[in-house]
Amino acid sequence: GVFAFWKQGSSLARLKLHRISRGTTGEDTPSRPIGEVFRTEEGVGVQTGRGIIFLEELQLEGRTRLPIEEFLKGNPSFIGGILQ
C-alpha cells in the first residue's frame, strides 16, 4: 500500500491511500507546491514532482476506509493541506 502523512497544525496524521489514479493533465512539472491537496473538475488531486495523482479512497490510521468525498465531509480542511 501507499502511505502519506497529512500535516494538521503541529502534528502529522498517517493516511493509507487505498485507491489513487494518475492525472491525465500531461503535466510533468509541478504547477503547485509538491504535496498540496486541491480540487479540480477531475476530482481531489495531490501535486507530485511528476504530475498529479487523484485520491479515490483513503483511510486515516485507526479509522474506517472511505471514498474521498465521504472523507472530506468529516475533514474539510484536507483541501489545501499538504501530504508528506
Distances (CA, A) of 15 to 25, 29, 38, 50: 25, 25, 16, 21
Burial of 47 (0-12, 13-18, 19+ CB in 10 A): buried
pLDDT tens track for 1-47: 799 999 877 889 999 999 999 876 555 667 899 999 999 999 999 99
pTM for the whole thing? 0.88
pLDDT digits (tens, 9 = 90+) for 40-76: 999 999 999 888 999 999 999 999 999 999 999 999 9
d(CA 68, CA 32): 20
